[in-house]
Amino acid sequence: MHSDRASLGLRIAAVAGLAFLHLPILLIFLYAFTTEERTYAFPPPGLTTQWFAVAWSRPDIWDALLLSLQVAAVATVLAMILGTLVAAAMSRARFFGREQISLLVLLPIALPGVITGIALRSAFGIMDIPFSTWTIILGHATFCIVIVYNNAVARFRRLSGGVMEASADLGANAFQTFRYVLLPNLGTALLAGGMLAFALSFDEVIVTTFTAGQQATLPIWMLEELIRPRQRPVTNVVAMVVFAATFLPILIAYYLTRNGQELAGSGK
């Protein structure tokens, strides 16, 4: 009989692997409280909460945070609309070009981000479009569509076509069926997709550097600090905030979809 218990070596390797995934992030929390200003010395010589106050009173951080929230919110809404439309179309019918469309949706994240970035930038250049908040949103919405799509299409697949036919038989028109049958069934999947899209957009930096011009989103602000560290303690605090801001939507998305195993993580 095949043994039902994992060997000790496997258990150690699995737990060590998970620890490898999580310990580095925990370190961020420790460093946000360090009293050391100039280096990344470990262990921290002392602990303090003063950097939270310093970060709080920095207008440049607030500006970057607001821009990031704004971009993520608009890009998420756009992606939710477009992603749901594709998912609805794909679930309804077999048609010519179906495979190509699914590839097209996937392409913005299957190709390295630097390519999406430079492609958008050269297109803006050719068409003389000046950089603005909208150019950032344009890029973000493009690669967020697939996140919403993945979640929605999995839910559509589980949804039996019978409920829609029943709704039509009972005299509902297409819009009523959408409002009273489809939307309640899709709700959590769309919300989960939206949460993940928001998290992705909020910390996106690779495409953003190409589409942002002079504006700085929070990740761009952080990237500049990473390349030329000037205010390490404040950056530590910002890193913690960014982590928290993406952590919560992910957790919510997980709880919204945990029964269906449809949180298409491999499709980030």
Classified as helix, coil or strand, 251 is: helix
- Only one of the segments 45-53, 114-122, 155-163, 184-192 lies at the binding site for another protein (rule: CB under 8 A); that segment is 114-122
Whole-number Cα distances in Å, 189 to 45, 108, 210: 46, 21, 31
Size of the residue set binding another protein (CB under 8 A): 94
- The continuous run of DSSP H or E covering 213 comes out as none
Where do runs of H (alpha helix) occur along 127-203? 133-158, 161-169, 174-177, 183-202
Q: Which is nearer to another protein, 73 or 168 (CB)?
A: 168
Q: Which is nearer to another protein, 40 or 56 (CB)?
A: 40
Whole-number Cα distances in Å, 81 to 98, 109, 114, 165, 220: 19, 18, 25, 24, 27
- The continuous run of DSSP H or E covering 92 comes out as helix 59-92
* Least distance (Å) between residue 247 CB and another protein: 6
- Only one of the segments 46-54, 116-124, 152-160, 182-190 lies at the binding site for another protein (rule: CB under 8 A); that segment is 116-124
Stretch 64-103 residues interacting with another protein (CB under 8 A): 81-83, 85-86, 88-89, 92-93, 95, 101
Stretch 45-64 residues interacting with another protein (CB under 8 A): none
Stretch 230-259 residues interacting with another protein (CB under 8 A): 235, 239, 242-243, 246-247, 250-251, 254, 258
**Residue 163 CB-half CA count within 13 A:** 16
* Least distance (Å) between residue 27 CB and another protein: 5
| Nearest-angstrom CA–CA distance, 248 and 177 | 32
- Only one of the segments 21-29, 50-58, 66-74, 151-159 lies at the binding site for another protein (rule: CB under 8 A); that segment is 21-29
Q: Which is nearer to another protein, 49 or 175 (CB)?
A: 175
Site string for another protein, 138-177 (x = CB under 8 A): x--xx--x----------------------x--x-xxxx-
Give the other-Cβ count within 10 Å of 222's Cβ: 19
Site string for another protein, 188-227 (x = CB under 8 A): --------x--xx-xx-xx--xx--------x--xx--xx
DSSP labels, 22-43: HHHHHHHHHHTTB---SS--SS
Applying CB under 8 A, does 113 fall inside the site for another protein?
A: yes
Applying CB under 8 A, does 184 fall inside the site for another protein?
A: no
Residue from 120, 137, 154, 237 in contact with another protein (CB under 8 A): 120
DSSP labels, 189-206: HHHHHHHHHHHHHHT--T
User: Is the separation of the CB atoms in 263 and 192 below 8 Å?
Assistant: yes
Applying CB under 8 A, does 183 fall inside the site for another protein?
A: no
